[in-house]
Amino acid sequence: MSGLDNASARAEEIVSRCKLLASFSEDPAATRRMFLCPAMRDCHREITKWLNAAGAKVSVDPAGNLRGFYAGAEANAPKLLIGSHLDTIPNAGAYDGVLGVVLGVSLLESLGGRRLPFAIEIIGFSEEEGVCFSTPFIGSRALVGRLDEELLNRQDETGSSVRAAIESFGLNPAEIQHAALKDETLAYLEFHIEQGPVLDSLGRPLGVVEAIAAQTRIEFVFLGGANHAGTTPMYLRHDAVAGAAEWIVAVEHTARNTPGLVATVGQIEAQPGAINVIAGSARVTLDVRHGIDEICERATQTLVRQAEEIANKRGLSLKQNVLLKQKAVRMDAFLIEQIDQAIRQIGCDPHRMVSGAGHDAMILAEKVPAAMIFLRSPGGISHDPAESVEVEDVANALECGMQLLDQLAKSSEFQKRMCRA
């Protein structure tokens, strides 16, 4: 079997494995796999079988991350991490997160027992989506030492804590520090579907992530005066929803006129919420993202000022609460160049891009050089059962990964990093 045929066969197997893992769910008719739920055990069991067969030693760390260690040519060789997350949103697709883990396993299988100058650790993070506890990246936070007491005590809507979930899975939260990365970690690599339409619109199978976008989330409450919808003249109204609506149009206008910016009002809640009552309050959320911190901050300030001006003009008051302020995270320049070269070597044309979505790579980048390879999302669809991948794109990603491993094994720069580890 030729190299291309072998990659295609392995790609078919990767897709089949992702579909199998999607069947391990808390819901019988859809994919939902939350932080350390019983279905996660099924996921661990299957992936462990594949890792063991590929020659990896498998363990589960105290944060519930599945880890498969494939030794290097020399004892105590420093390691390269390859991974992504195993949890999902409710009613999820089959590839978000999971594809990156399964691809990593297939890279080990493709080595066929060959050992590299560095070890490889495949990691399936226990939680990334932030669904249960309104805080994402529980798994990767543990690796950088940020799974602290406050996060361990955080509760979901049922009153159950992160700590309790870890204990229920048979793990000891008092040992969380043992999940942290050691000095021998060289870098982190993550394969992930793009979750957007850019690569598909360009006809490119693979993308090189240069940065993960800065993100700010703010909750606004426009406060006016509730009153009877039939008896209050239009010129005497202080309609909170009308004020929020005017501002929402301004949000769209600002984003459309700022290259690279995305701004979204994702939630609207009117009170009292009756069909025949002028709304006295309107709660709205704002999500602003850009690959450059300064542009994200400047746009956010503009949108806040516009909200204040609209509220003042309409005789409303305004409350605001910052929910999240995340700076842009640059990926490692050396790894970006290596990935770009690897994609070209397999005969594809790479596209460099900013990730609008957050990923575990942004957390790992706090401690080690990190990089991401995006696979095209057909139709730009993700976070939906219609999420898909092209088998040919998966084959290209696998070939790119093998080419990248060979490049790093021969790279003098990577050798220097190994010596420092």
Q: 305 and 393: one domain?
A: no
Burial of 292 (0-12, 13-18, 19+ CB in 10 A): middle
Q: Indicate if 205 and 336 belong to the same structural domain.
A: yes
Give the pLDDT confidence score for residue 135 in this predicted structure.
87
pLDDT digits (tens, 9 = 90+) for 371-403: 999 999 999 999 999 999 999 999 999 999 999
pLDDT band at residue 185 using 50, 70 and 90 as cut-offs: very high
Residue at a domain's end among 326, 343, 375 = 326
Residues 130 and 35 in one domain: yes
Tell whether 187 and 48 lie within a shared domain. Answer: yes
Q: What percent of the chain has pLDDT over 90?
A: 95
Asked if residue 133 and residue 49 are part of one domain, the reply reads yes
Where a domain ends, among 300, 326, 352?
A: 326
- DSSP state, 161? B
- The average confidence (pLDDT) of the chain is 96
Q: Where are the alpha helices (DSSP H) in 213-352?
A: 240-256, 293-313, 333-345
At 419, the pLDDT band (50, 70, 90 cuts) reads: confident
Q: How many CB atoms lie within 10 A of CB 152?
A: 18
Beta bridge mates, 352: 208
Q: Are residues 89 and 229 in the same domain?
A: no
Each residue's pLDDT tens digit, 204-216: 999 999 999 999 9
The pLDDT assigned to 1 comes to 46
Region 147-152 average pLDDT: 95
Task: Dump pLDDT digits (tens) for 159-169.
Answer: 999 999 999 99
Domain containing residue 224: CATH number: 3.30.70.360
State the residue range of the domain holding 11. Answer: 3-212+328-420
> Is the domain of 102 the same as that of 112?
yes
Asked if 383 and 302 sit in the same domain, the reply is no
12, 392 contact by CB (below 8 A): no
Q: What is the pTM of this model?
A: 0.90
CA distance linking residue 306 with residue 312, whole number of Å? 10
Average pLDDT on 3-15 reads: 87
How many of the other CB atoms lie within 10 Å of CB of 410? 10
Query: Within this chain, do residues 374 and 226 fall inside the same structural domain, yes or no?
Result: no
Q: 282 and 206, same structural domain?
A: no
Q: Where does the pLDDT of residue 134 fall: very low under 50, low under 70, confident under 90, or very high at 90 and above?
A: confident
Domains in the chain, number: 2
Q: For 265-303, what is each residue's pLDDT tens digit?
A: 999 999 999 999 999 999 999 999 999 999 999 999 999
Of residues 139, 107, 145, the one with CA closest to residue 123? 139
Does residue 75 share a domain with residue 61? Answer: yes
Residue corresponding to tokens 């299988």: 109
Nearest to 208 by CA among 14, 379, 370: 370
Q: Which among 326, 348, 364 is the end of a domain?
A: 326
- Residue 191 shares a structural domain with residue 227: no
Please answer whether residues 162 and 138 qualify as being in contact, where contact means their C-beta atoms are separated by less than 8 angstroms: yes
3: pLDDT strictly greater than 70? no
Pairwise CA distance, residues 257 & 249, whole Å: 13
In order of 96, 149, 324, the CA distances from 161 in angstroms are 25, 11, 21
- Contact in structure between 276 and 229 (CB atoms under 8 Å): yes
d(CA 367, CA 369): 7
pLDDT tens digit sequence for 307-349? 999 999 999 999 999 988 989 999 999 999 999 999 999 999 9
Whether pLDDT at 418 is above 90: no
What is the number of residues in the chain? 421
